[in-house]
Every structure is written in C-alpha cells, then in structure tokens.
Amino acid sequence: MSIILASASSRRAELLKKITADFMVVTSSVNETLITERDPVRFALAAAEAKAKDVGTQFPQSTVIGADTIVVLHDTILGKPSGIENARAMLHTLSGTTHLVITALALYAHDENKLLLTYQTSAVTFKKLTHEMIETYLARGDFDDKAGSYAIQNVGDTFVSAAEGDYDNIIGLPVETLRKLLEAFMTPLLTLDIIDIALPDGYGVAKHEGGVIFIPQAVTGDTIAATIVKEKPRLAYAHMIGLTALSASRVTATCPHSGICGGCILQELNYPEQLRLKDRHLYQTLGRIGKIDTSRVQKIPITPSRHQYFYRNKIELSFSTRQEKAILGFKERASGAPNQEAIIPVSQCPIANPRVPEIISRVLEFADAADLAAYNPHKKEGVLKRLIIKEAKASGKLMVILVTKQAAVTRYAQRLHEALSSIEPIESLCWAIEERDDTRSFEQKILIAGENCIRERIGDFSCNVYPETFLQANSETAPRLYEHIKQHLGHDEKILSLYCGSGLLELSIAHASQEITGIDTNANNISCARENCQLNNITNCNFSPGKAEEALKKKRERDCNTLILDPPRSGLSPEALRRVCSYGAAKILYVSCNPASLARDIAILAKPYHLASVAAFDMFPQTGHLEIVAILRKKQ
C-alpha cells in the first residue's frame, strides 16, 4: 500500500524520510481557517483528519498522512500568521512564556474506511524577546507558514530557553509517534467504545467479549484503537494506539506531562464532567463499600474549585536517577503495563505556583554542579530525597525545602542559596534531614535563608506555615468547606476535634461553638495550631498532642457533644472506630479525602449513628480526588 503525505511542508517531508523514503507528497486543499473547533486538540485533530480525507478521496487505495501543528498559549490557538503584523503580535505574545506545541496526526485509507487519529504535545519556553530580536527574525521572512510564526530549528537558542518533549513534534511531525501509528495501522487492532472512567486511577472503561478493559487516557465517549498489555480473567489492561472518534468531553491538557504523570489524570476531561464523575464515584463507593442506602441521605451538590490550575499551595517532588543524573518528578501514571518507571521527570506542574519550573531547573543545576546523587532506598546510596515547595496564596510568597538523607551535605547550603536567591517570591529556604526510609519525618531542619515560616491567609484567618505544617492543599476552596461545617454547629456545642493538623478548621469554626479541643499526634502541628490561635485572638480553642484513641478514652460524653474527625487518607484505626462508637457524641462531622475509607468507617459507625448528609468539595481539580464532609447523628 502506497503512503501519501498530505502536506506541502518540506520540514515534514524530511522528517518522514526517517521512517520511509517511499512516499508521495500531495498537498490538500483544506482551508484551516474554516475549521470551527475552538479547543486546541480538537482543532488540530479536525484539521489533520480533513487534510487526510481530502487527499484520500483522490487516492482511495493509499494510506494518507494528515498532520496539523498549532501553538497554544493559555488555551488560545496560534496558527499560521496572516501577515507580518500578525506574526509580530504573535511573537510579542509568546515572549517570556512557556507554550504548548501540538501536532495532530491522521491516517486514512479510503477504500478500507479506516481512520486513526492521535496527537503529541511538547512545551517550548521563550526567552524575553526584545524588539530588535523580533524584527531581525521577521526580516528573514521565515514566519509566514509557521504555527506561532516561528520554526524552532530556525530561531534556536536565540529565542528558546527550554524545549521539552519530542523535538520532531515541535518541528511539525513526531516521527516515533508516527512510526508506531503506521505500524499499528497495518495490523488488526481492537476497536473499543469507552463507556466510563473508573476512579481513583482514571482508567477509561470498555466492555469486550464479556470482560472489562481498562485504558489510561481514554475519555468517556471516545472510540479508540488499542492493544492489550495485560490480561486477567474477565479483566484486561490496554494501551491506546489512537482515536477513531473523539468524545465531546475531551479537551486539551495544559501540561505536557499529561498521560505519563500519575498526578493530574483527568486533564483531558472537561471540568463539568470531572465534577460529575467524582460526585457519582463518591455515592457509588458509599453504596458498594459502606452498604449505605444513599437515597435516604441528603446529597449536597459538589462545590467546584474556582480555579482549575495553579491552585495548590504545596507540591512535593521526588528525586530519582535518569541516565546517571538526578531528576525531579512524580510517580508514573498507572497503566497496567510491566516495568513502569517509579518516578518520571517533570519540568513544570500547572496546578502549582508558576515559578515551580524555574525552581526545579535551578535545583537540578545545583545538584549537578555539587555532584549530589538521588537517594536510592534499595541500594542505600545517594542523598537527595525530595523537594517541597509551599506557597502562601494570599501573598505569593514561597517556601522551598530540600530534603536529603545525610546531614553532611548541608555544607552545600550556601551554593543552594546562590542558585535560588534571584527568585524573589522565595521567602524561606530550608534544608531538612530525613535519615529514616519508613517515615516522612525530619530529624533536623536548617534555615538557609529568609524567614522560618511564611504567612498564609485562609478565609478570615491568618496562619504561619512551617516546613512540617499541614494545610488543605487548596487555600481558596478550604474556607468553603469550613463554612459548611460551621453551618451545622450550635453556639452551645463543645467539640472534640481529632487529627486537627495546624488547627485551621478549628479556628474557622471557633466563633460558632462554645469550646474546641484539638488533638493531633504531630507536635509540630500542635505548636503551630497554638501559635495560630494567638495570631487570630482565638480564646476558646485548646490544642494538645496525642493519639485520637487516647483522647477518646479520657473524654466523657458530658465534656464534648460533637466530634470532628479528619483522619489521614487511610481512615480511622479499628481501635479509634470502637472508641468513637462508644464515646456517645450526639453528632459526628467526618472530613475525608478518600471515599473508600470513609465508606468503610461509616459502615461501622452506622450501628449507633445514621448518615444525615454528605457534601463534596473539589479541592483537587484535574485529579481523581476530592474532599468530603459526612455528618452523622446519633440514633434515638
């Protein structure tokens, strides 16, 4: 079968020669300006498909390759310029930014009625471009047929400070992706209709021959071509080769690491669908695991996050090794395939502070210059463990914490300070020592530069954030959760709040209750909570270190008539559950970030209590997680 490239681009033709020299070039007559799709990925795929089909109808026995490359900045598509003024405006817009370059591919065989679509995303960071730099480039006349008005191979280091992802993709044809797509196009593939997305891992779900298949990156409503990578009885995992039809819910992922990073697994699903999916998953889990009749429970509509990106006040990156150099990244997305990487390198994180890419880059440069290796827990070698970046959203001030295995390496502290000193939002720079592998607890903290804490404001309350301070990750949505809890309290209530962290929830509801006692096992959290009480002139909150199980032994029903439970993701221990049941509080407010452990615990609490209401708060857009408040009342 002959291959045709439906593109007049000489760059694409040269790149295609890396795969095969046996192809013909036929330019399509498609006018890209007539494509009405506004989502970047949908636009690029529609253009690539239109080009492939336009030429494919003329050569019905051939395999036609359609391609379309676009530049995307803040969801705005920058295609080919209409003239020099438009090109000038584009380059000024791209100056000093990190933008996406998306190339969509379409393979089409008319006589076989066969279509296969895919796309690749890369990221390009421009330097600050001066007027002279732009005018010199425009005078060369290289801009007129280039997406975003530039060709990376022509501007090189003059414009570009960093390029991430497939370089061929930025030029206009992702060679390795196309090679795999062509190979798959010539072989039988499974065609699967995606009927659902399974949380918390975000797998697309398809039914096939009486079994269920899980596919990462697939969206409900997609029709995909796939190959099986792992099989179990009546269950399989598949790898998506390409799309044959797009879901109406599919959108462009903002992050170039989407699909391989295990964090933001829902980036390719539009936000209303994310909310619907999470809400449904919550109540299905309560029914399946907790055996709860949710029809008898007041279901409060899920509260969305006002911002879907740049919302996190903390991220924690892990060090690992790639090609004998230290990298920083997150866990790889689960796919069911064997031999997955534990940590995949990332250069940015669009749900965190915009200065994160610069901090990552500077820290890795420092590690390389100091010849510091990532810690390997299996070999017990290396020193670098984690990089933690915290942000006070109210001010934009940052705290950076480098976590290492050995105290001896702190002799490099001054060099780390020099590497990061020009990043002005960094108000606190710390070096933390963590010798143990079985727990995340700092044996030693060294303040390298700046303040020992950063000041945050959550709703109406200020709080000091230290290296080990626990806060809800979404500073903007947290007050809405606290307000919901406050609405279910009376001024005569005495509250025992277990797993209180740094006390922000307790401070936020203090004026709505008579007295609050907060308990947490972490002494640093308790110290911070007490300090925050003084900072906000709160006099009816008391905080003490201790275990929840012990606190429930000491307190009697006459002391506290309301319990607030905010345990870790794993939920309550069996002993804590027994003691909560026997404690006898009239009301329990259970805060959880894990529907499964919440459902398990409520199933046990349901003996002396009935579940009155459930409210969900989307603290974690783009991920499979959410925060939940369940209110239980004692049975009469």
Residues assigned a catalytic role: 68
Amino acid identity, residue 6? A
The CA distances from residue 55 to 8, 19, 92, 153, in Å, are: 12, 20, 36, 28
Sign of the alpha-carbon torsion through 387, 392, 393, 397: negative
* CB-based contacts of 215, cutoff 8 Å, min separation 6: 192, 194, 203, 204, 205, 206, 224, 226, 237, 238, 239, 240
- d(CA 136, CA 117) in angstroms, rounded, equals 38
CB 467 within 8 A of CB 457: no
- Helices 413-420/356-370 angle, 10° precision: 140
Task: Give all strands (DSSP E) within 510-621, no chain letters.
Answer: 515-520, 541-545, 562-565, 587-592, 609-617
* CB-based contacts of 549, cutoff 8 Å, min separation 6: 573, 575, 576, 579
Helices (H), 432-541: 478-486, 504-509, 523-535
In sequence order, the β-bridge partners of residue 317 are 387
How long is the chain?
636
CB 124 within 8 A of CB 153: no
CB 632 within 8 A of CB 588: yes
- d(CA 255, CA 252) in angstroms, rounded, equals 9
Q: Give the angle subtended at the CA of 299 by the CAs of 295 and 300, to the nearest 5°.
A: 170
- Strands 211-215, 587-592: pairing is unpaired
Q: Is residue 432 helix, strand or coil?
A: strand
C-alpha 368 chain-centroid distance: 27
- d(CA 299, CA 249) in angstroms, rounded, equals 25
Task: Give all strands (DSSP E) within 29-158, no chain letters.
Answer: 63-73, 76-78, 98-109, 114-126
Q: Catalogue the long-range contacts made by 136-143 (C-beta closer than 8 Å, 24 or more residues apart).
A: 137/91, 138/84, 138/87, 138/88, 138/91, 143/81, 143/84, 143/87, 143/91
Helical (H) or strand (E) element with 275: helix 271-288
| Strand ranges across the sheet with 444-450 | 343-345, 325-331, 314-322, 384-392, 397-404, 426-433, 444-450
Look at residues 91, 174, 98 and name the one whose alpha carbon lies nearest to residue 361. Answer: 98
- d(CA 361, CA 279) in angstroms, rounded, equals 37
- d(CA 237, CA 335) in angstroms, rounded, equals 7
Amino acid identity, residue 593? C
- d(CA 480, CA 483) in angstroms, rounded, equals 5
